[in-house]
Structure 1
């Protein structure tokens, strides 16, 4: 049955505005402005780190994989340009994080506990970032990690870009803690991590700014920007975390001007937002990071939300109005 023209026009307008309200911006396919992961082997991208040696390359990995692999993704195309196989490590359990420290060293955090096993210890792997992006096998150093207060589920591991010290943030619905590792990890003994600060978020990933002065922490629906302050965290403001299927990863762009937000799933998108204090995203007069628009507890910009849902409301009103007028004419 053919629908009345006015009703069809109203429905089309509503659908158009609805798609526009939730679509990924066009810039999301332009390198450090965002990209889509195209490799069908990457189904559970749980960590993200900008390369220090290869402009536009981001390292990622699966939560659980058939082997110990890292993937180098070209942000200008979304294609994988190299897959690294880690040797010298055991069978991975739940790899949740990746970071790059001083001297182009890649750190991989096998620190998760998806199955609620409460592991008595977890692992961190370290390997040099390859100078050439080709499929290859690289031997990694494996470190055993324990916490002073018992087993933890964690998805966030960060490495300070100046000191090389490794930190872990545990994942807890009511907020967690920043755990500090020893000044230098030992491959021959157990590395004990101790809580040194609270983190007011159910954290799924975190990242240091390239200069090591800022710490960004994300969750599924929100994020917080901290001034690092030598490890004595000072909260600066909320982050504009995009709405994603399962927001799992976070990285600064190599130049520090963008925060890159990744998610799990085949063909997942990495969304770029201006980093507080970097690039075009300058600090507000109050000194707090993020944009000047208010954000709710999910980190979703209130102004942006108002525009999107306002547009949708207008579309619905138009559709109902013209549909009702058509009905009156027929009667």
Structure 2
């Protein structure tokens, strides 16, 4: 079989992720919360549950708009148009008081000098708005990202990078300035290929996902608590909390399902062990957030084996990374000899 240089390099870059996926525990069972009925929702990327509505936005290629979906029926009940020509919208984050943060933060070619966020009103009914847009810049140059999170205790924004060579979490200034660039400060490492993330309501933990797994970190220390598999989806990119001790996850595609996933028992115990003052429930008690009606009951048959709370499952990533780097080195040497 003949492989060109780019093909071999691409395979070697993907190798650690393929090995990690193969060695990870079985997928979490997901319960269908609802199905997007709107044919205009074709690339659901960001996901927020707020005021009883599920809010989402299409990935790059669409005009700037946020869809408000009634989770009881899966129908769109409101659309907010906020821009005709965004660059690469990838994420949403709660903003409170009937608003969400929209993150125009994608940069696949790593050539954007700055990226933007906007605070956009959402809810039932259609509207067109002209929100204030804030420029964000990275100190070390352009960064690709698809994850925007807001701290439920302070409202501060955080962006997680998306890179095969390792992800980083960046912190925005406590107060954004609309008249000049707002510098994002790196505060720690997170998983690579992050496609979405969310603060748990206790404000002491964040969950960040890629296409197939999610990792729970303490906050602000960003110590890894546990990693667990998510339900299999074609291109899982959305993540939010559902207010009943679980998560909602979504994927790109027309007419796709939004699934509800409970945090595995092993993950809950690991969270409690990492923070003895925290409740084993990620909500820390009753929540004011709405719960998706079809998903208020946990799935049967769950046990501690569903998650990996001791970190042992991370070894395939390291092994794969070393093999991948070794393969790249051998390929470079071979090419030099030609």
1:220 and 2:173 equivalent? Answer: no
Q: How big is each residue's C-alpha offset from its partner over 1:212-233, in whole Å with a ceiling of 9 and x where there is no partner?
A: 22200000121101121xx221
Aligned residues: 259
1:207 counterpart residue number: 198
- Taking the aligned partners of 1:124 and 1:98, their CA distance within structure 2 comes to 9
* Conserved 8 A contact 1:38-1:80: yes
2:247 aligns to what? 259
Length-normalised TM-score, structure 1: 0.71
Deviation, 1:78, is 1.1
| Partner of residue 80, structure 1 | 76
Match of 2:47 in 1: 48
Tell me what 2:273 maps to.
Answer: 287
Give the root-mean-square deviation of aligned CA atoms.
2.9
Among 85, 101, 104, which residue is 1:110 paired with?
104
Cα deviation, 1:216-270, whole Å, max 9, x if unaligned, reads 0000121101121xx22121101331110001111111x2511111100111111
Deviation at 1:75, TM superposition (A): 1.2
Distance between the aligned counterparts of 1:146 and 1:154, measured in 2? 12
Q: Give me the whole-angstrom Cα distance separating, in 1, the residues matched to 2:267 and 2:163.
A: 30
Cross-structure match for 1:92: 86
Match of 1:270 among 258, 267, 274: 258
Q: Provide the rounded CA distance (Å) in 2 between the counterparts of 1:93 and 1:285.
A: 38
Aligned to 2:34: 35
Query: Which of 156, 179, 186 is residue 188 of structure 1 equivalent to?
Result: 179
Aligned mates of 1:291, 1:202 — CA distance in 2: 28
1:101 Cα deviation after fit = 2.7
The alpha-carbon deviation at position 76 of structure 1 amounts to 1.4
2: CA distance, partners of 1:266 / 1:162: 35
> What is the distance in 2 between the residues matched to 1:49 and 1:38?
17
TM-aligned CA deviation for residue 47 of structure 1:
0.6
Render the CA deviation track for 1:115-147: whole Å, top value 9, x for unaligned.
Answer: x151111110112344xx111123311001110
> 1:126: which partner in 2?
119
2:80–2:122 contact (8 Å) kept in structure 1: no
Return the offset for 1:66: 4.1
State the Cα distance separating 1:166 from its structure 2 match: 0.6
Query: Which of these two proteins has the greater Rg computed from alpha carbons?
Result: 1
- Determine if contact 2:115/2:136 at 8 Å carries over to the other structure: yes
